[in-house]
Structures are given as C-alpha cells and as structure tokens.
Amino acid sequence: MAKMAYVTDLKTLQAECSANYLRLVRLIGDLESGQRLDIALRGDDQDFGDLHLTILQHAPYTTMVEVAQSSPMDTLWKGPRMRVHLYHDVRMAEVTDFQRERHFKGRYRYPNARMHQPDEKLQLNRFLGEWLAHGLAHGHTVDVPELP
C-alpha cells in the first residue's frame, strides 16, 4: 500500500492561532513593551513553576511576546521558551521561535535531519494553546517589578 503524503491542515492551524490570540490577549491585557506578567502555576500543595509573558515589541498591528516557564527544577532542566507574534488585524497568534529555533514550515518530509514531525508548526501552536489554557485555568498572577 502506498504511503500518503501529509497535507497541511490549514483550517485547523488557523483555528488554533485564532484561539491562541484570544488566550494571549486575555492574559496580557494592556501590557506594553518591556513589561512582564508572571503567573504562578500552583495546585494542591504542588509547585509547577511560573509562566512568564514578556512583551518584546508592541506596534499598532503586531505584538511580539516571549512565553517561558520556570520551575523548581531549573537547575536541572530549563523550561520551554517560545516567541509568539500576535497579528491584531487578523486576530491570530503564531509561534515563530521555539527553543531558539525559528521559521517553522507548514509541512516537513519525514524523516528529516532535525526530526521535525510532518505537522511541527501545528503541534507547536497546539502546545502553546494547551500551555495558555492551563495558565488561564490554574494560574495566579504574581506581582513582579517591571524589567529595566
């Protein structure tokens, strides 16, 4: 039986990016460039670390946000870090940088040198959505001074 090539599911990717835009806007509110929001992810006597949202750039039609997580295990393992672009005119948020790797294609041949999944871009945006949804559902804001 012939193996079928992966076809990018553009409708699902756009839906995920639209939902992530709404989640991020709800979390960051009216923060401006250089400001950061820290959300403590805590539950029944458990510390899951902090979700950090930092506004890197803010322009009329776009905003660039760094999303990162620190944890009690930071000395052993660095938490995930990504850069997300919010496009205000189309109300979408897209992961553009993950763990210092940039520019993800909509589709990859598999296997490939970097071992990206065929739908890597969709998976990264889905991960962002789950991460933000968890922060909205279980997070508590922490007062932190502004970045210099």
Look-up of token digits 């990162």 = 68
- Helices 10-28/120-138 angle, 10° precision: 30
Q: Which stretch of 45-54, 58-67, 113-122 has the lowest confidence by average pLDDT?
A: 113-122
Those residues whose C-beta lies under 8 Å from the C-beta of residue 142, and which sit 6 or more positions away, are: 38, 39, 40, 50
Domain spans, the chain = 10-139
Average pLDDT score, the chain: 82
* 3-41 pLDDT, tens digit each: 666 667 789 989 999 999 999 999 998 889 999 999 888
Answer whether the bond into residue 80 is a cis peptide, omega within 30°.
no
pLDDT value for 135: 87
CA distance 42 to 8: 36
Say what the pTM is.
Answer: 0.80
The answer to whether the beta carbons of residues 68 and 79 sit under 8 Å apart is: yes
What are the residue ranges of helices labelled H in 1-148? 10-28, 120-138
Prior bond of 111 cis (ω within 30°): yes
Tokens encoding 42 = 């805590």
Name the burial class of residue 94, with classes exposed (0-12), middle (13-18) and buried (19+) by CB atoms within 10 angstroms of its CB.
buried
